[in-house]
Structure 1
Amino acid sequence: MSPPTHANSYYAASANDKVIRPQLTGEHRCDVCVVGAGFTGISTALSLAEKGKKVIVLEGTRIGFGASGRNGGQIVNSFNRDIDYITSNYGDVIGKKMAKMAFAGSELIRNRIEKYNIDCDLKHGNVFAACNNKQFEELKAKKALWEAHGHNELELLTTSSIQDHIGSERYVGGLLDRKGGHIQPLNLVLGQAKAFESLGGEIFEDSEVVRLEQGKPGKVVTKQGTVIADTIVVAGNAYIFGLLPDIEKKAMPCGTQVITTEPLSAEIQKQLLPSDRCVEDCNYLLDYYRLSGDGRLIYGGGTTYGARDPGKIESIIAPKMLKTFPYLKGVKVDYAWTGNFLLTMMRMPQVGKIGDNLYYAQGYSGHGVTNSHLMGEILSDAIDGETERFDVFASMPQYQFPGGRMLRVPYTALGATYYNMRDKLGI
């Protein structure tokens, strides 16, 4: 039986590291066993290895197989719910503590790239694009909010000045965040995995975990082997598959689709995105896009609730791309793929501890690139006894979607239809 492979994506085709790690066999012993080799798992493992811990990572398929190796590659600051929402719903104390972490994920990513010399096509700056005046007013408020919490690398873009960044007539304005950016996400997670291994860490692929046994120590069991560990971290996110059923009930897998064009001429690249920033619009069901390191347009969107894989991804996303950039008509699409992210009821990450020695983190609700890296550092600190930041997240209540597993998809899709209509009407 052949080993599992990555999705047939542009990221997999341009991966720097195509080495297949061994499958777990026999019994192993370590300080911490991390389940899942995506951003959360590898960030946690690398942070722990930097502290001198003996860490083993188990991955059911390949490093970065899930959302970490399929996402839009955009470094977007803050959380799905912004600081004002957090303060309003969870109080001033939690609001102030969360504000201190809102921009930490992007800094951590840049520090890792520099420290370990990771080649992942890092480019700086992202643009939030307003499709109507209501969204533009919301971007003005975002700028004021972030500046009030110390983020001063922001620029409001008018209908005229946004043309310096996006060659499209769709937008009435925008907000440039110079602390944002974009990367080749699979190469980012693979680069960190290599850094982790350089510090003595071990990664086993094609090693799906079938059972967790809590205790002191705990036991993580695959079909071919076992890891005995003082501490266990579950970092499977949308791909957790039955390991923690009570936790799985509190979040819902969602699918997003991405296409990548053939390499474009330098002239077309300059016409599309003159400043080479990445872009996401402000719609509830948003579009996002950017240029790759080799000059392709990567365009994504089309959220589906319940992680249903659409049959024809290109037919869903290409019309969105052409609505934004009509002059790309006739450009060939080389890659199309889908991937799952995990949505929570409150759109905030779910973080916690079960028993004495099992930690989990999940549900970044579309802000996974930055939040997952931050969470890895936070989990590492908590395991090492520094729980201040972990306790902030863990104190936030976690709710199930209304309707349970049967009705959560139609209820959420109905809500999305409502907000999508509001976006179209500009209200």
Structure 2
Amino acid sequence: MAAPSHTTSYYAASANDKAFRAPLTNHITADICVIGAGFTGMSSALHLAEQGFKVVVLEASRIGFGASGRNGGQIVHSYSRDIDFIEKHYGQDTGREMGKMAFEGGQIIRRLVDQYNIDCDLKDGGIFAACNSRQLREMEEKKALWEAHGHTQLEMLTPDSIRDHVGSSRYEGGLLDKSGGHFHPLNLVLGEAAAFESLGGVIYEDSAVTQVQEGDKAVIHTATGSVTADFVIVAGNAYLGGLIPKLEQKAMPCGTQVITTEPLNEAQQRELLPQDNCVEDCNYLLDYFRLSGDGRLIYGGGVTYGAREPDKIESLIVPNMLKTFPQLKGVKVDYAWTGNFLLTLMRLPQFGRIGKNIYYAQGYSGHGVTSSHLAGKVLCDAIKGQAERFDIFAGLPQYPFPGGRALRIPYTAMGAWYYNLRDKLGI
């Protein structure tokens, strides 16, 4: 039987490591078993291996197969709900503690890239681009909020100054986060996997977990083997399936689409993104884009609810790209793909324990690149017995979507329609 393959993305085509790790075929023991080899799983596994734990990772498909290897590749700080929302709804203490962690994920990424010499085209600078005056005011408020929590590498962009960063007339200004950035996400997670393996860790691909058996020592079963472990970390996120039903009820997979153009010449690259920053706009159903390491424009957006696979990704994304950059009319699209992220009702991450030794983190709601790397460090600390930060996240309420599976998609789509209308009207 052939080994499973990645989606037909630009990232998969340009991956540094295309080697396949063999599936689990026997019964083994470990200190910790991690389910899922995406950012959450590999950040957890690598942090734990650095602390001397014997860690095994089970991946149903390939390393970075899900959102971690398909996303826009942008370092965007904080959470899908920002710190002021958390303070208002869950109290000043919770807001303050989550504010302390809101910018740590990007620092973890840079630390791992530097320490393990990960080749992933990491570049500095990210922009939140405002499409109307309301959004520009919101960016001014975000700047003040983040600065109050110690993040000072921010600069407001006017309608004129944003042209120095984005070659489009679409935006009324924005917020430049100099500590933001962008990278090749699949090569980052593959580099983290190689770092983990260099510390003695073992990854089994094509090893879907069929059952997690609770007990003083958990037993994690696959079709052809098992792992007996003191602790389990469940890190499947939008690709967990029905393995843990109580987790499935709390969140909903959503699809986002990405295209990548043919390589652009240097003049085109300078015209589009003169400072080589990444960009996301401030709409609820947002667009995001950046240049790849070899000079292609990577452009994404087009959220679909319930993880539906669109028939023609290009037809969803190319009109948005041309609205932003009409000068790209006629440019060839070389790659188009879709991937799923996991949305929670409150749009905040869900951390928790099942029993005494099964931990999980999921539901980053579109802010998974940095939040998942933070999650790995927080989960590692909790297993070491330093659970204060984990308990902050675990203390947030985790509501199921109303109406169960039948109604969560239409309810969420209706909410998205409302916010999309607000964005179009600028109110």
TM-score interval, smaller chain? over 0.9
Distance in 2, matches of 1:151 and 1:380, equals 25
Task: Using the TM superposition, give the Cα deviation of residue 243 of structure 1 relative to its aligned residue in structure 2, in angstroms.
Answer: 1.3
Name 1:32's counterpart in structure 2.
Answer: 32
Structure 2 residue 277 is matched with structure 1 residue 277: yes
What is the count of residue pairs matched by the alignment?
Answer: 427
- Alignment TM-score, normalising by the size of structure 2: 1.00
Distance in 1, matches of 2:221 and 2:241, equals 14
Which one-letter code corresponds to 2:85 in the other structure? Y
DSSP 3-state at the match of 2:136: helix
Name 2:241's counterpart in structure 1.
Answer: 241
Name 1:357's counterpart in structure 2.
Answer: 357
Distance in 1, matches of 2:242 and 2:138, equals 39
DSSP 3-state at the match of 2:228: strand
Which one-letter code corresponds to 1:277 in the other structure? N
Name 1:420's counterpart in structure 2.
Answer: 420
Name 1:139's counterpart in structure 2.
Answer: 139
Task: Using the TM superposition, give the Cα deviation of residue 403 of structure 1 relative to its aligned residue in structure 2, in angstroms.
Answer: 1.8
Name 1:171's counterpart in structure 2.
Answer: 171
> Identity over the aligned pairs, expressed in percent?
68
Distance in 2, matches of 1:199 and 1:282, equals 41
DSSP 3-state at the match of 2:68: helix
Name 2:115's counterpart in structure 1.
Answer: 115
Name 1:14's counterpart in structure 2.
Answer: 14
CA displacement, residues 218-267 of structure 1 (integer Å, 9 cap, x when unaligned): 10000000101010110000011111101110000000000000000000
DSSP 3-state at the match of 2:156: strand
Distance in 2, matches of 1:403 and 1:295, equals 46
Which one-letter code corresponds to 1:147 in the other structure? E
Task: Using the TM superposition, give the Cα deviation of residue 22 of structure 1 relative to its aligned residue in structure 2, in angstroms.
Answer: 0.8
Task: Using the TM superposition, give the Cα deviation of residue 67 of structure 1 relative to its aligned residue in structure 2, in angstroms.
Answer: 0.1
Structure 2 residue 262 is matched with structure 1 residue 230: no
Name 2:309's counterpart in structure 1.
Answer: 309
Distance in 1, matches of 2:396 and 2:417, equals 28
The alignment yields a C-alpha RMSD, in angstroms, of: 0.5
Distance in 1, matches of 2:420 and 2:402, equals 20
Task: Using the TM superposition, give the Cα deviation of residue 356 of structure 1 relative to its aligned residue in structure 2, in angstroms.
Answer: 1.0
Which one-letter code corresponds to 2:261 in the other structure? T
Name 2:183's counterpart in structure 1.
Answer: 183
Which one-letter code corresponds to 1:302 in the other structure? G
Distance in 2, matches of 1:179 and 1:299, equals 21
DSSP 3-state at the match of 1:100: helix
Task: Using the TM superposition, give the Cα deviation of residue 273 of structure 1 relative to its aligned residue in structure 2, in angstroms.
Answer: 0.3
CA displacement, residues 172-210 of structure 1 (integer Å, 9 cap, x when unaligned): 000000011001000000000000000000000000000
Which one-letter code corresponds to 2:327 in the other structure? Y
Which one-letter code corresponds to 1:66 in the other structure? G
Name 2:398's counterpart in structure 1.
Answer: 398
Distance in 2, matches of 1:14 and 1:185, equals 11
CA displacement, residues 46-78 of structure 1 (integer Å, 9 cap, x when unaligned): 000000000000000000000000000000011
Structure 2 residue 207 is matched with structure 1 residue 203: no
Name 2:75's counterpart in structure 1.
Answer: 75
Distance in 1, matches of 2:258 and 2:338, equals 6
CA displacement, residues 318-374 of structure 1 (integer Å, 9 cap, x when unaligned): 010000000100000000000000000000000000101000000000000000000
DSSP 3-state at the match of 1:416: helix
Which one-letter code corresponds to 2:213 in the other structure? E
DSSP 3-state at the match of 1:422: helix
Structure 2 residue 408 is matched with structure 1 residue 408: yes
Which one-letter code corresponds to 2:84 in the other structure? D
DSSP 3-state at the match of 1:229: strand
Distance in 1, matches of 2:154 and 2:176, equals 6
Which one-letter code corresponds to 1:336 in the other structure? A
Distance in 2, matches of 1:198 and 1:77, equals 29
DSSP 3-state at the match of 1:121: coil
- Alignment TM-score, normalising by the size of structure 1: 1.00
Structure 2 residue 299 is matched with structure 1 residue 299: yes
DSSP 3-state at the match of 1:352: strand
Name 1:367's counterpart in structure 2.
Answer: 367
Which one-letter code corresponds to 1:385 in the other structure? G
Distance in 2, matches of 1:145 and 1:350, equals 23
Runs of 4 or more, structure 1, over 3 Å off, are none
Name 1:3's counterpart in structure 2.
Answer: 3
Higher mean alpha-carbon deviation, 393-402 vs 298-307, is at 393-402
Which one-letter code corresponds to 1:219 in the other structure? V
Task: Using the TM superposition, give the Cα deviation of residue 160 of structure 1 relative to its aligned residue in structure 2, in angstroms.
Answer: 0.2
Name 1:125's counterpart in structure 2.
Answer: 125
Distance in 2, matches of 1:378 and 1:68, equals 18
Distance in 2, matches of 1:402 and 1:290, equals 36
Structure 2: runs of 5 or more not aligned = none
DSSP 3-state at the match of 1:146: helix
Distance in 1, matches of 2:60 and 2:157, equals 44
Name 1:264's counterpart in structure 2.
Answer: 264
Name 2:221's counterpart in structure 1.
Answer: 221
Name 1:45's counterpart in structure 2.
Answer: 45
